[in-house]
Structure formats: C-alpha cells, structure tokens
Amino acid sequence: MKPVLYHSVSARSFRPLWAMEELGMEYELHIVPFPPRAVHREYLEINPLGTVPALRVGNTLMTESAAMCQYLAEAHGGGSTLALTPDEPEYPDYLNYLHFGEATLTFPQTLVLRYRHFEAPERRSPQIVEDYARWFLGRLKALDGRLHSRPFLCGQRFTMADVSVGYAMLLAEHLDLLSQASTQIQAYWRSLQSRPAFQQALKIEHDAAVSQGVSPLPAPAHRPWEQHTDTGSAQ
Ligand SMILES: N[C@@H](CCC(=O)N[C@@H](CS)C(=O)NCC(=O)O)C(=O)O
C-alpha cells in the first residue's frame, strides 16, 4: 500500500516529500492549505494535532518529519544508502544529525517565523525574532567543523540526516537567515539544492498545489494571519 503524505507548501512535510523522491518510491500526495487547523479544519479528522506533515502508512499515522525520513529509508529503502545501519561507525552521528535538523535547527526558526510573520501585527515581537535568529545561527556553527572535511554529514554519502538538516536550510533561506552563515554551510546548501530529487520535490510540490487549488507560495507570502487571527498562531 502506498504511503499517503499530507503536506503544506514549504512546511516540514517537505522532508518526507524530498525523502520519497530520493528513494524513487510511489506515494499519494495531498496539499493542505496552511495552517490547516485554522483554514482547513476537516484536516483535524486526519491529524488531530492539526500539524503537517502527516504520513499514513497502513493503519498508522506518523506526525514527526525526522521519524518519517528514518522510517522511509529503513522500510522503503530497498537497499538504498540513505540510512546508516547500526554496524557503521557513524551510525550514532546519523541519528544525532537526523534529529538535530528538527529539534535544534528548526525549532528556533519557528519562533522567528511566528513572531515575524504569523502573529497578528500587534503581537509580533522584534526581540523574540532577534533572539531566536541568533540562537539558530549559533547552533548552525556546529555544522562548520563537521562539513570541513566531508561533503555530507555522515558516512561519506548523502543520507536522511542531510534531508533533515537540508529542510532547516530551506526554511532559513525563506527567513533570510542564511546570508549570515559561513561559506562552507552555504556551499553545502547549494549542493543539496542541486540534487535532482530536491528539484523534483519542489516541482511536484508546486504542481500538486496548483492542481489541488492551494496557493503554491510559502505561507508568509500569502499572509495567512489575515484569515485566522481568532484561532491562535501556527509555527
Ligand atoms: N516536530 C514536528 C513539527 C510539526 C509542525 O509543527 N509542523 C508545522 C508546520 S512546519 C505545523 O503544522 N504548524 C501548524 C500549527 O501549528 O497549527 C515535525 O517535525 O514534523
């Protein structure tokens, strides 16, 4: 049975979308207007958390993007090299960077996004934006040493850890945070973007959004706070 992915344009659900393109696998894609809990309430029947991504696999619903990447590589990888295995020396690094991409690099950016764009104008906070932009840039430095002597984060090859961290780069670019990153990190990000599966995932995202009647622009560009200030803010 094909996995079913619920995705919003430029949201963390880009991770499993990109991952499935890297794996060349079949899946069903539903584009959900953002934030679904405010502008597409029927989505709560699929995922009561109201968050994207949601990935239906058989009778199970996954709601964590990094876990989805790990699951997809292991269960649908068919011998692909996108996951490290426990017998490889850098397996602990692999798991660490897989989760680092979400827990350490994406979390502070969601506060920048929220308090710069998604909150109603009177609740926006330049102080929070500045603090968490600095937090993100500080944590990003951890990658400098890592990428000094290698093109990818682990195992001398592209893996799901790069998908996880790569999404954090994509979000940082939308938030204009990457211009302050080192040249090494910027070169790493350019190499991730040049991957055919990354480009294909962007195209599929755009085409599916248009054909499903959803704006293909990232949420801040179509100003969602004007539609749902009564329902709390997304991140
Ligand atoms: N840790 C989760 C976070 C999921 C999440 O919060 N997604 C955001 C979009 S990137 C969302 O759906 N926000 C909508 C809301 O908070 O209502 C993951 O990695 O998938």
Ligand 1: residue of 52, 72, 163 to mutate (most ligand atoms within 8 A of CB) is 52
Ligand 1: residue of 15, 51, 228 to mutate (most ligand atoms within 8 A of CB) is 51
pLDDT single digits (tens) 200-227: 999 999 999 999 999 999 876 555 444 4
Domains of the chain in start order, with CATH, are 4-80+197-229 (3.40.30.10), 91-195 (1.20.1050.10)
Calpha distance 227→44 (Å, rounded): 18
Calpha distance 191→72 (Å, rounded): 22
Tell if the pTM clears 0.75, that is, is over it. yes
82 C-alpha vs ligand 1 centroid, how far in Å?
24
| CA separation, residue 184 to residues 100, 174, 178, 191, 230 (Å) | 18, 19, 11, 11, 43
pLDDT single digits (tens) 120-129: 999 999 999 9
The length of the chain, given as a count of residues: 235
46 C-alpha vs ligand 1 centroid, how far in Å?
14
- The phi, psi pair for 45, rounded to 5°, reads -75, -25
